[in-house]
Amino acid sequence: MIKLTKASKTGLHGEITVPGDKSISHRALMFGAIADGKTVIDNFLMSDDVMHTMGVFRALGVEINHTESQATVIGKGLTNFKAPSAGLDMGNSGTSTRLLMGLLSKQPFDLKIFGDSSLSKRPLRRVADPLSLMHAQFELTNEEFLPAVIKANNELTGIIYHMPVASAQVKSAILLAGMQADGETTVIEKLPSRDHTERMLRQFGGEIKTEGGVITVKKQPQLNGQHVLVPSDISSAAFFMVAGLITPNSDITIKKVGVNPTRDGVIKLLERMGAKILQNAIPSDGEPLADITIKAQTLKGIEITAADIPSAVDELPILALAATQAVGDTIISGAEELRVKETDRIATVISELTKLGANIEEKPDGMVIHGGTSLHAENGSALLDSHGDHRIGMMNVVASLITEGDVVLTGEEAMSVSYPGFMEDISSIIERDSL
Ligand SMILES: O=C(O)C1=C[C@@H](OP(=O)(O)O)[C@@H](O)[C@H](O)C1
Ligand SMILES: C=C(OP(=O)(O)O)C(=O)O
């Protein structure tokens, strides 16, 4: 349990560099492991989720070394993994589980996979169904969940698959299997989801076609080890953007943030809420990067609909907090995917923010947030809970910056799933009471 602090009247100030992108760090390990030769990954995210992906490849016999922010992978190719001596632990990570179900669906041995209690409640048929159409085989608990077995298999066949949900994890699982399948594999997306897998396959020397929402991959010849520079994670930066916007008198800059257009929905939505966000582009050979500067300012309520969700899916909890401070209502719809994240994030956002006096109505596919509430701990003190969900933990910490009264947070260890140093970084921009 930790005590949280309100920011002083002088606000939040300074420059901050948030850690490397979680989605890209997972994928850099995966492509590094299946490539030939050495891959060096800079600004690598050393968080619990990514460590579980690393643990999987080590158990498969891949040599991986790391310092604080760099990982080196000695690739083995796709066909030289060794059979692990125990089940593979996915921890809390949906990305590891779903992408690896695709990537490891053509190995000569069974692979047992398991995860923590939250991950064991998250749906897997969304990847198992299309992968089974490709002739991969799985045994899922109650036909949906972990623990599961990826069955030994020596045949994959390409498919054409219309995505029923907007999900980069589903798309990536199919593409990672498609790279090993006979014939062509085509995924058709209604709404664009993050395209890090496609970009990274190209960087590693592979071929993939993207035309509108139609993405096609064939069996890949050998991929070659690369140098990957991981951008700082926009999903982590989002907590500082909102902190800077809602904490009076703040002025902060977040350095070298990944602003891939399939990920930057949080910036676009905050701009629709009236925020002025300065983006200073930084030249990059890979994923687009920018320094982002924000100052405290008044926001207005907006409507967020299904088309807005994929590029901001992990940022909706912190956007909901921003909406409590806006003038007018913010209506979020088409966001039912939030119900199957580390927690049901519609329920946990509402449960936590209402403890601080927020006025939010629950909807099956979203919420209506009535703006203009001044946050305060009921009866002077509030006990907030991460519910084992890193993004809910960090949303609570940012909420406490503008909350009157004593606030404590339990379950704070969840933050290390994506951002182990979050509390230190927040402290570094809080100006202690000088007034
Ligand atoms: O592909 C990825 O790296 C991710 C995709 C998203 O999940 P969905 O594909 O389930 O939307 C996101 O919520 C998750 O944090 C990371
Ligand atoms: C949903 C998330 O991750 P994952 O699906 O990998 O557990 C997240 O990081 O918010």
62 lies in the same domain as 189: yes
* CATH value at residue 139: 3.65.10.10
State in Å: Cα 327 to ligand 2 middle: 30
Q: Using CA positions, which residue lies closest to atom 1 of ligand 2?
A: 341
Please list, residue by residue across 120-156, b when 16 or more beta carbons sit within 10 angstroms of its beta carbon and e when fewer do: bebebebbbebbeebbbebebeeeebbebebeebeeb
Peptide bond into 84 cis (omega under 30): no
Classify residue 73 as left (phi > 0), alpha (psi -120 to 50) or beta: beta
Give the full edge-to-edge strand order of the sheet including 289-295: 13-16, 251-258, 289-295, 277-282
168 lies in the same domain as 46: yes
Q: Which of 48, 49, 291, 314 is catalytic?
A: 314
- Domain membership of residue 121 as a residue range: 22-229
User: What tokens were used for 184?
Assistant: 């062509």
188 lies in the same domain as 254: no
State in Å: Cα 49 to ligand 2 middle: 9
- Asked whether residue 326 is domain-assigned, the answer is yes
Model confidence pLDDT, tens digit, residues 237-246:
999 999 999 9
Number of structural domains (the chain) is: 2
- Which amino acid, residue 377? A
351, pLDDT greater than 70: yes
**Closest by alpha carbon to 174, among 218, 210, 205, 130?**
130
- Which amino acid, residue 162? H
Ligand found nearest the CA of 166 = 1
State in Å: Cα 234 to ligand 2 middle: 13
225 lies in the same domain as 271: no
- Asked whether residue 408 is domain-assigned, the answer is yes
- Asked whether residue 100 is domain-assigned, the answer is yes
End residue of a domain, out of 177, 210, 229: 229
User: What tokens were used for 168?
Assistant: 């980069």
- Asked whether residue 126 is domain-assigned, the answer is yes
Is the shortest distance between the CB of 126 and ligand 1 below 6 Å?
no
Q: How confident is the model at residue 313 (pLDDT cuts 50, 70, 90)?
A: very high
337, pLDDT greater than 60: yes
User: How many whole angstroms separate alpha carbon 358 and alpha carbon 27?
Assistant: 38
Q: Please tell me the number of Cα atoms within 13 Å of 194 on its side-chain side.
A: 29
36 is catalytic: no
End residue of a domain, out of 174, 203, 229: 229
End residue of a domain, out of 229, 248, 269: 229
CA dihedral 54, 393, 244, 291 (to 10 degrees): 10
215 lies in the same domain as 279: no
431, pLDDT greater than 80: no
- Asked whether residue 13 is domain-assigned, the answer is yes
Q: How confident is the model at residue 435 (pLDDT cuts 50, 70, 90)?
A: very low
8 lies in the same domain as 26: no
pLDDT at position 433 is 58
| pLDDT > 70 in the chain, percent | 99
Q: Which atom of ligand 1 is nearest to the CA of 313?
A: 13
Is pTM beyond 0.90? Reply is: yes
Model confidence pLDDT, tens digit, residues 106-160:
999 999 999 999 999 999 999 999 999 999 999 999 999 999 999 999 999 999 9
The mean predicted confidence, pLDDT, of the chain is: 97
27 lies in the same domain as 98: yes
Ligand found nearest the CA of 53 = 2
Model confidence pLDDT, tens digit, residues 153-193:
999 999 999 999 999 999 999 999 999 999 999 999 999 99
Is the shortest distance between the CB of 43 and ligand 1 below 6 Å?
no
345 assigned to a ligand binding site? yes
User: How many whole angstroms separate alpha carbon 187 and alpha carbon 193?
Assistant: 12
- Asked whether residue 50 is domain-assigned, the answer is yes
